[in-house]
Amino acid sequence: MVASKAQAKKAVTLAYENEDVEKINVFVNQKGYRTTPIIYLNGEAIPTSLTSQARPNQTLLNFLRTVCGLTGTKLGCGEGGCGACTVLISKYSKYSKDAGIDESECNGGGGGGNGRIVHMTVNACLFPVLAADGCHVTTVEGVGSWRSKYEGLTCEGAETAACGGGCGEEKKEDYLHPVQRAMVDIHGSQCGFCTPGIIMALYGLFAPEGKLLESGQSRVEGVGGGPKVSHLEEHLDGNLCRCTGYRPIWDAAKSLCVDAFDDEGVRGPCGTPCRECPERDTCEMDCNVKDKTNVNAGICCSSSSDKIRDYQKVLQSKHSETWWNQPNDMFPKELIPHRKNNVVNGDSGIDSIHAQTQEQLKKPLMIADSSIHCGGTWFQPVCLEELLDLFREFANDSGGIKMVVGNTEVGIETKFKHAVYPRMIHPSESIHSLYDIFSTESNFHIGACSSLSMLQHKCHEFMTSSSSDPLSSQKTRTAKPMHDMLRWFASTQIRNVACLGGNLATASPISDMNPLMAAMGAILVLASRPSADGAIKRRHIPVSDFFVGYRKVEKLEHEVIERVDVPLVKPQFEYVAPFKQARRREDDISIVTSGMRMTVTPAEENWVISDISIAFGGMAPKTVLARSTMASICGKPFTADTFMHARTELQNEFRMPDDVPGGQAEYRLTLACSFLHKFFLHCLAKLQKDVGSNKKKRYPPIPTIDDDECSGADGFVSKQKPCISGEQKFPAPKVAVGLEATHLADDESKSSEIPLAAKAVAEAKNSEKNDSTAVGKPATHASGPLHCTGEAIYADDIPAPANLLHGSLILATKCNATMRKIDVSPALNIAGVVAAFTHEDIEKLGGDNRMGPILLDEFAFLPKGEVVEFVGQPIGIVIGESQEIAETGARSVLVEYVEKEGKAVVSIEDAIEAGSFWTDFRHEIKRGGDSKVALNQSQVDGKKLVVVEGSFRCGGQEHFYLEPNSTLAIPSESGTNLTIYASTQAPTKTQDFCARVTNTPAAKVVVRMKRMGGGFGGKETRSVFSSVAAAVAAKLSNRPVRLTLNRDTDMSITGGRHAFLGIYKAGALVDQMSGSVKLHALDVQIYNNGGCKFDLTGPVLDRALFHIDNCYYWPHFHAVGTPCKTSQPPHTAFRGFGGPQGMAIAEHIIDHVAAECRISGDRLRRENLYCTNDCTPFGMRFGSQYTGAWNVPLMWDRLYNELDIPKRRAAASEFNKKNKWVKRGVGFIPTKFGIAFTAKYMNQGGALVHLYTDGTVLVSHGGTEMGQGLHTKVCQVAAQAFGIPLEDVYVNDSSTDKVANTIPTAASMSCDLYGMATLDACRQILKRIQPIKDSMPPGTQLRDIAKKAFFERVDLSAHGFFSVDNDRCGYDWSKEAPEGYPRDLPENSWKGHPFNYFTQGVAFAEVEVDVLTGDHKTSRVDVLVDVGSSINPAIDIGQIEGAFVQGMGWCTIEEVVYADDDHVWIRPRAKVFTTGPGTYKIPAFNDVPETFNVAILENAENPFAVHSSKAVGEPPFFLGCSVFHAIKDAVAAAR
């Protein structure tokens, strides 16, 4: 086998030769082209030595990270769907407002005049670097820094400082931009990977206009405004966050808005904030009474409005107004044409560089790549003739030519479909006809290359035009449907660069704008130039005739779409409406989209439909008109009956087979019919308005409908985006005493007469008095400032070491087949590929190719002759000089398969049918006798037994951590040592398998983990295989290797949450006299889909069994769990680890029982909650000495009464009676979540603490930071122990050479383990230095004590350790009851005590559901959680909110789709379809509950954890299912 380039025999060949290199002289000398781009970055020109490396096929993101070395901008998805790569592009625009270039709505400012600086945020992962020619790029590094190099200078002396300089003020102490500072202070970041992109998105929205100033005009005039809250809500749609739940980001963003006070209800009904009211003591208004109650109870209450109001003062104290003009101040004067009397950044002169730059920018640009990357050729013509000449010359040449404007589609094609475009044209904005937007008396003219943001703004401008304009009404009617559709089209970043012409030319069958253009009768103008010296030829074609097939259009190769002409809608009786429905409202591809236009004419007795046009996307392989349906309507009376018959015709016209690409055939057809009905209701309302505005004229009667029908008239497309706010309540900070009072006590303390707990409480009270507390305070995330400046380093950000190679995995393209042969020689023939390694190379190393966290049933690289068990299974790795080259090499490897008989087992149902199980790991819990017998009775003790049976399914979930798996493996000492930098929750597991597979002693393998960009369980085991692949390549090549998975690869092969199936039979006893219902017996079989390898499937199923009771007492209980083996990728840990699936089944059963017993779900739940001293089916008893206080009943009652849930349900019911097509629903559920690893040995943790002689402390522990704030909490514990400020404690990284043999950071146990271990180490050091301290004066600083201790040879380092008590963890499923086991102990308690304690909570949710489309919104959520005595309430609330939204996403919009019997249109079978943000939808900014209230229960100490705290990461996840139950309630109302 050929394993390296040195062994390859074939000559190196390129993918294609760039013949255009030979034409450079012709284009330069004869046509005046230049060959070097001009790009500015963060205020400075990028040197030619770097810009000359820019390639035609290179994205701006790749250029920034690999060429410029700026890693603050992140690669999250590579398809413009997550926003982690957001940067600001600024350019000079010489178009006047009338010419159509006014970015005020899109970018936060107005403008006009002869020119100005325009700012727009873009996705750098799609934006071509060469499209930035003539632009200024601002990355997060250019916005503000945690440490400024300009410290000590005044603004006047620091022209290039972050504030822009020139204000003459003394520099303030904060070098963060206000956007960054607000995000830090209001807890807007957790893992921080998405944060730089969000910062840049906000920075772009706050960027003021850059109108050029006349001489003598103040440069800060008009600065300091920024957009309004409503503008923010409209445009913050291009970024995703998986950690925070968005609410704190919303608060931070709104706190910077000019109308923040007006938008938020920051004052009481009287208009004065309650705490500032002069009548505070006597006022009896509810707001004041409630607030005083909270204060008296020691409750801290912070609402969005409070934060927004208070933060204005913070901004004023830390930032000058000049910050807001930073984007304009940084803009290079060389990019602004010099004109007389213009002042450019305070300079009215012009130098030779300025003049030379301007002269160069007037020339067209040609870049022909001759590197090994085969980047093709880039043309940027500056006039229409040049553009058309290029198309004439190259359209029919080899490879053709592709026009690129925003690259939002071409970028997807090149990255994911691996399309190769040898030549690309990017038309300059100087080609006016392609960019102008204007209106005439008959048409709305849209330049084909004008951005959709520009079009959206012009539509808004027309909608708000002066009423004196005779065309005002027509412009409004024409512009509004386009504006409304564009609001939901992709994202702000995409709209800022994407164009209507590209949308039309791409001919996507699910385009939003194409159906609308077709319905509105738009005409395309196609331009061409048949000969070099000839005139431009133009051809007109209706949009409705433009689409001839799937992705095919009626356009010749040498033609260019020049503009789109949209006829103005009539001033009355003509109506246009857009419709769309997607899985997620914002930034999502439509399932079905439509544009509809209709004209009605008054007849003698009725209104007649004189013209109608109905176009659809998502109903055929192309955008289509519903011609048959249109014919059935046109000429008919405008009545409900006409549209009812039309819907029948529509169903006949668009009937689709079940295996139609995209699936959901019935739903799509239903949506089309629903849109038609909505259009009827919409037109009816508009007709009533038109007739009502002209009362002088007599018209025929208007059709009437019932009042409850009106709710169906409009969908979300035309509605204002929601305003997100919330309230957070938590107990006043205090230092509580927990397990440390007894667990860490020394012998002297134990022998003291004073109780240990009492001593600990006294110490805590003393520290509170001295104001030396760190525990209990809502400190900001330790890495928050670094997150917000892009200075936080992740695995893929580590500077490239010398001789770095990049890796790409060779992945199987089939499953259920045997791999017969693998040929890597095609990869080795590619220039830049260095080597390719497979299982044979692991054998040469003497390594063990087997892997797996429990069973060694996986391969590092699949050997020949083995069965491929899932699509995407790693076969080997290719390493090359760049990631692109390595990926090309990996794709070129030839693999031969031999298909196996039969179809692949994909679903749980497939597994049950095939008997594909891990039977050795089937477990059961049984309590209270035979449940089957108990369920076969008709009554018990005179009470009727009601029995229900059924099944419940819950799907999987993709982790969607924003940072894909990434590893940097560095060999040293001739490859005998390995240092692995990995994004992993399991450093030790990574170390073990990297050592095992590479045949290296574990002592010579060091794994380091600084921080992760999210994990959620997905990097507990499924990160290891990629680290192993990198380690193998590094050891064999003896060169550093970086392996970062692309988002689609990561999602294809790393698995996710296990799908579950529950089949149940349950019974409840009904007391006919009282009406109460008591649960009696449950018999349930549960199955989970583990994928093809065992991974953690068994433990996940076990936890589901432990939680399938949720909070309810079943006297007779029998549950059996069976793990299923399928052809999906191995599934793994995910927040909740099976618990949410078990509880989801439990709540479904409760709903089923309640419905059958005709009792409310609220009542059934409350009457059957566990009580103190009750026991779970697995033998744990509730109560203080057993599991801590059982608070769920208390929390249930509190929320139930505070919210007056019966009243809310009644209000929803009343609303539903009045609205046929929109229904409200309410959900209210509890949760309990067991805290501990169920595997006993895992309940341990270590920490290493160093006290330095300057009084600062370094902590290293076995946990990893993935955004959950673990390091911050551990620092608080250490700071509290030493009595020092929090900033004097630091956690560097998690490393196996500092704390060895660690447990994965999982099960929400990390703070319990490492907080205690750290405290143990701190107390060891404190005990050693106590004699030194006693010898010094009271109040001596720690640094002085440490110095003296050092000189007296006292060890200032300690290793701490903690393990959960033996009798409070572990569970032996197979253990039988010992002979003579006490009968008064709970059944099954002899098997162990699986959990140390329970974190508990309740949640209420209220939703609205559009019955016609299925669209929903979450109006309100209230969450109350018992997290013990919080070490950091801000972090805990952030965890609650993030977990809730993630859980809400799981049970509403997140759907993992595989090629199975329900999705036969996906090939091959068992392939994952949802492999990126384009197909998999997590909640976005506007999916958050509009009112999101979170409270932490007070007086809830926990004696079983450090400082009486409780674990918080996973438990709130299931509470997100309250939204699902609210939707069920709304659907039930509709039925």
Q: Which residues are catalytic?
A: 1514
Distance CA(1044)–CA(76), nearest Å, equals 11
Of 590, 543, 586, 593, whose CA–CA distance to 563 is shortest? 543
Please report where in the chains the tokens 């319990």 appear, as a residue.
1312
d(CA 223, CA 219) in angstroms, rounded, equals: 8
CA dist., res. 178 & res. 208, Å (int): 14
CA distance 565 to 521: 9
Give the β-pairing of 966-972 and 437-439: unpaired
User: What backbone torsions phi and psi does residue 1441 show, to the nearest 5 degrees?
Assistant: -65, -45
Closest C-alpha to 1155, from 1164, 1145, 1168: 1164
Instruction: With beta carbons less than 8 A apart as the criterion, state whether 127 and 139 touch.
Output: no
Angle at 1335 between CA 1329 and CA 1341, to 5 degrees: 65
- At 1049, is the secondary structure helix, strand, or coil? helix
Name the residue among 1048, 785, 1019, 1018 with its Cα closest to residue 192.
785
Tell me the backbone φ, ψ of residue 493, rounded to 5 degrees. -60, -40
CB 1237 within 8 A of CB 1270: no
Report d(CA 1193, CA 1177) in Å as an integer.
19
Helix, strand, or coil here: 316?
helix
Q: Please tell me the distance from the alpha carbon of residue 536 to that of residue 514, in angstroms, as a whole number.
A: 26
Q: State how beta strands 1294-1295 and 1005-1009 pair.
A: antiparallel
Closest CA to 731 of 780, 782, 778: 778
- Which structure tokens are listed for 33? 């082209």
Helices 304-318 and 178-185 meet at what angle, rounded to 10?
130
Q: Apex CA 471: angle with CA 465 and CA 475, to 5°?
A: 60
Could you tell me the two tokens for 204?
């772009």
Assess contact for 525 and 538: CB atoms under 8 A: yes
Strand residues in 337-388 grouped as ranges (E): 342-343, 365-368, 377-380
Token pair, residue 1257, equals 């402390």
CB 76 within 8 A of CB 83: yes
| Calpha distance 788→1181 (Å, rounded) | 46
> How many helices (H) and strands (E) would you count in the chain?
48, 52
Contact status, residue 18 vs residue 370, Cβ threshold 8 Å: yes
Q: Write the DSSP symbol of residue 1499.
A: S
**Residue where the block lists tokens 């034409």:** 23
Number of Cβ within 10 Å of residue 999's Cβ equals 14
Return the half-sphere exposure (C-beta side, CA atoms, 13 A cut-off) of residue 788.
29
Give the C-alpha separation, 1155 to 1147, whole Å: 12
Q: What phi and psi, each to the nearest 5 degrees, are found at residue 1418?
A: -100, 110
Question: How far is C-alpha 467 from the geometric centre of its chain's CA atoms?
Answer: 43
Q: Retrieve residue 1489's tokens.
A: 């509950």
In our burial notation (b when 16+ CB lie closer than 10 A, e otherwise), range 1289-1322 reads bbbebbbbebbbebbbbbbbbbbbbbbbbbbbbb
Q: Which structure tokens are listed for 985?
A: 């929750």
Q: How far is CA 848 from the centre of its chain?
A: 37
